[in-house]
Structure 1
């Protein structure tokens, strides 16, 4: 099942902001191609964030499985640093 890409993109942006990363650095952290990541995470994405990349982002940044697909509605957060 493909997640809501808008939610997934916003959560990915939140993750990059939280870790002070730009798209290029995120690509390096994940061992992904910069152009491919830019197409997924840039201001005007032209590609969907795949399930595999979403899972890799969650694992790399110690987020619970499915975190990227949860809309931030003010519920429980998993931020270890209380920011």
Structure 2
């Protein structure tokens, strides 16, 4: 089973992919410094995503609260509107 910081990292990668963003663009969307996000979202992150930023990512990208912390079961998601 993945640790919470690993789940958040994978979900953040999913947000990048779903929205066709790079880290710099995501940082701009969130009003964060690119360098700070780089420490959390690169392939070898040196920091985990804090709670406050996780909730901000969910809100910014229309995901339900706690979404970044949910373990996926690998199934297909039909939730097109993040509800």
Q: Which residue of 2 aligns with 1:47?
A: 47
Contact kept in structure 2, 1:63 and 1:78, CA below 8 Å: no
Q: Distance in 1 between matches of 2:78 and 2:54?
A: 16
The CA distance in 1 between the partners of 2:30 and 2:77, in whole Å, is 23
Distance change in 2, residues 1:60/1:43 (3 Å):
same
- Please tell me the root mean square deviation across aligned C-alpha atoms, in Å: 1.8
Instruction: Please name the residue that 1:72 is paired with.
Output: 72
| In 2, Cα distance between equivalents of 1:37 and 1:48 | 10
Structure 1: any 5+ residue segments left out of the alignment? none
Runs ≥4 in structure 1, deviation > 4 angstroms?
none
Q: Tell me the number of residue pairs that the alignment of Structure 1 and Structure 2 aligns.
A: 79
Give 3-state SS (helix, strand or coil) of 2:74's partner. coil
Q: Distance in 2 between matches of 1:79 and 1:23?
A: 24
TM-score with structure 1 setting the length = 0.86
Partner of 1:58: 58
For structure 2, the residue ranges without an aligned partner over 5 or more in a row are: none
Match of 2:9 in 1: 9
